[in-house]
Amino acid sequence: MTASTPMKLASHAAPAPPSFGVEAVRADFPILDQKIHGHPLAFLDNAASSQRPRAVIDEIARFDSNDYANIHRGVHELSQRATKAYEDARDKVQRFINARSRKEIILVRGTTEAINLVASSFGRPALHLGDEVVLTTMEHHSNIVPWQMVCRERGAVLRVVEINDRGELDLDHLEKLLGPRTKLLTLVHVSNALGTINPAKEIVAMAHARGIPVLLDGAQAVPHMRIDVQDLDCDFYAFSSHKMFGPTGVGVLYGKEKLLDTMPPYQGGGDMISVVTFEKTFYNALPAKFEAGTPNITGVVGLGAAIDYLEQLDWDGAMAHEYELLRYGTERLAEIPEVTMVGTAAAKASVMSFLIEGIHPHDVGTILDRHGVAVRAGHHCAQPVMQRFAIPATTRASLAFYNNRDDVDALVRAVRDTIEVFK
Ligand code: 7TS
């Protein structure tokens, strides 16, 4: 599957090829092998943070035990080793998303910081009184609030693309909103609350036909499909390490070099300069211009290890397996009359968001936990989605490739038990 061919949630989908050995893959993730409240753990909260394979855990320990030092400034051996490991990780990210140049890979704290960087360094200079930023109803708060802040400051306005009852974007509405005042279109690639896969490549083309740049929030896409930023042709792409089997506190902003070159730095400090005097400072070249201060060195090395892990995996097999599990889980849940799915788009990844008639999602989450089933209950930092469906919250189970049928069966059993408890 590529960025341009998202998987479709249809019942005739091919079953997982026997070549993908989920049990062997599960053995790579030590945390999965435990009991919670006397039940085998069914970890279905991957959209919040996925778990890390032993290869990542071990590489972090090895790096910290052998090579750790501050980067880019020391002449001594450890600093050179650490700098190499850090910059090697940047190269791995570049290859992983097929960016044209390593200068286009800005290492940040996460998706949130990546989007704030674009809002600050691209949005603030570009936006003037009456200008518009177009985004969608299904954005995570981190792709709403930074735009609200910069729009308020610059006298610009947000325009919001509607979604239909299945949780799919209204592309006609999107097209109507793209006008001469639009300075940026920013949207989620895969929705964290609904699981919808947006047709990102087509949308980027639609915006580019009008000369409008596009930021994609890829936080929930990167763990579930191959991302090729050149194929997508997006101008910016943001994602987080901790949702793609790496450590927290690290993320990536991809930006086209020609745009990043024209943007002012996001923060001032060490590493982002070439010469500083009290009269004038000369900024460093890309990517250092956007990486002020000592970064999360070990975290970046861990992200590199996560990419190494993903690259040795049978990715197509893993994605077919995960997709098949999503289809299976969706069908099993749909058999329960009290359950309503929220988000039934034709193209979906990972997420099963649902309501149980008469039971608050927080109570559902608590009872599921007593069965060893880890899910998330709440608005998932996407309150406009909840407003659109006129609901306060959902219970959300979200899959990764290491989940198996036992996990989904445990979820379905626990949902049925929850309904019994409340009868
Ligand atoms: N964008 C999307 C689509 C997300 O799902 C999230 C986090 C973010 C941005 C922010 O990422 P961060 O790494 O900077 O925090 N989503 C979730 C979630 O669904 N449950 O917990 C965090």
Of 362, 366, 364, nearest in space to 378 by CA: 362
The whole domain housing 267 covers 57-311
Within a domain: 5: no
d(CA 301, CA 246): 9
Choice among 36, 273, 381, 391 that is catalytic: 381
What is residue 74's predicted lDDT score, i.e. its pLDDT? 81
Same domain for 256 and 326: no
Same domain for 360 and 262: no
d(CA 364, CA 419): 9
Tell how far the Cα of 177 is from the centroid of ligand 1, in angstroms. Answer: 26
Q: Is any ligand 1 atom within 6 A of the Cβ of residue 60?
A: no
Within a domain: 12: no
Domain CATH code at residue 342: 3.90.1150.10
Same domain for 49 and 80: no
Same domain for 347 and 266: no
d(CA 95, CA 356): 43
Closest residue CA from atom 16 of ligand 1 = 48
Q: What is the pLDDT of residues 137-163, one digit of tens each?
A: 999 999 999 999 999 999 999 999 999
Active site residue 381: yes
Q: Is any ligand 1 atom within 6 A of the Cβ of residue 136?
A: no
3-state secondary structure the chain: CCCCCCCCCCCCCCCCCCCCCHHHHHCCCHHHCCEECCEECEECECCCCCCCCHHHHHHHHHHHHHCCCCCCCCCCHHHHHHHHHHHHHHHHHHHHCCCCCHHHEEEECCHHHHHHHHHHHHHHHHCCCCCEEEEECCCCHHHCHHHHHHHHHHCCEEEEECECCCCCECHHHHHHHCCCCEEEEEEECECCCCCEECCHHHHHHHHHCCCCCEEEECCCCCCCCCCCHHHHCCCEEEEEHHHCCCCCCCEEEEECHHHHHHCCCCCCCCCCEEEECCCCEEECCCCHHHCCCCCCHHHHHHHHHHHHHHHHCCHHHHHHHHHHHHHHHHHHHHCCCCEEECCCCCCECCEEEEEECCECHHHHHHHHHHCCEECEEECCCCHHHHHHCCCCCEEEEECCCCCCHHHHHHHHHHHHHHHHHHC
What is residue 13's predicted lDDT score, i.e. its pLDDT? 46
Within a domain: 8: no
Q: Which of 240, 242, 395, 398 to mutate to test the pocket of ligand 1 (most atoms within 8 A of CB)?
A: 240
Tell how far the Cα of 202 is from the centroid of ligand 1, in angstroms. Answer: 24
Domain-ending residue, one of 295, 311, 327: 311
Closest residue CA from atom 15 of ligand 1 = 112
Q: Is any ligand 1 atom within 6 A of the Cβ of residue 217?
A: yes
Domain-ending residue, one of 285, 311, 337: 311
d(CA 301, CA 58): 11
Q: Is any ligand 1 atom within 6 A of the Cβ of residue 219?
A: yes
Q: Is any ligand 1 atom within 6 A of the Cβ of residue 111?
A: yes
Query: Token pair of 264, please?
Result: 């002012």
d(CA 196, CA 416): 26
Atom of ligand 1 at shortest range from CA of 396 = 19
Same domain for 161 and 143: yes
Same domain for 322 and 305: no
Atom of ligand 1 at shortest range from CA of 109 = 14
What is residue 18's predicted lDDT score, i.e. its pLDDT? 53
Query: Token pair of 404, please?
Result: 């198996």
Tell how far the Cα of 295 is from the centroid of ligand 1, in angstroms. Answer: 20
What is residue 3's predicted lDDT score, i.e. its pLDDT? 45
pLDDT beneath 50: ranges in the chain: 1-14, 16-17
Q: Is any ligand 1 atom within 6 A of the Cβ of residue 145?
A: no
Same domain for 63 and 49: no
Query: For the chain, what is the domain count?
Result: 2
Query: Token pair of 299, please?
Result: 């975290």
Atom of ligand 1 at shortest range from CA of 110 = 14
Tell how far the Cα of 144 is from the centroid of ligand 1, in angstroms. Answer: 12
User: Looking at the whole model, is its pTM more than 0.75?
Assistant: yes
What is residue 73's predicted lDDT score, i.e. its pLDDT? 81
Within a domain: 1: no
Domain-ending residue, one of 252, 277, 311: 311
Tell how far the Cα of 187 is from the centroid of ligand 1, in angstroms. Answer: 13
Within a domain: 131: yes
Tell how far the Cα of 109 is from the centroid of ligand 1, in angstroms. Answer: 12
Q: What is the pLDDT of residues 195-210, one digit of tens each?
A: 999 999 999 999 999 9
Closest residue CA from atom 17 of ligand 1 = 48
d(CA 94, CA 106): 10
Q: Which amino acid is at 266?
A: Y
Same domain for 46 and 83: no
Atom of ligand 1 at shortest range from CA of 189 = 3
Q: Residue 53 forms beta bridges with which residues?
A: none
d(CA 239, CA 333): 30
Domain CATH code at residue 216: 3.40.640.10
Atom of ligand 1 at shortest range from CA of 113 = 14
Same domain for 318 and 306: no
Same domain for 318 and 303: no
Region of residue 42 (phi > 0: left; psi between -120 and 50: alpha; otherwise: beta):
beta
The helix-helix angle for 361-370 and 405-422 (nearest 10°) equals 120
Same domain for 127 and 108: yes
Q: Is any ligand 1 atom within 6 A of the Cβ of residue 220?
A: yes
Within a domain: 9: no
Within a domain: 232: yes
Same domain for 141 and 32: no
Within a domain: 15: no
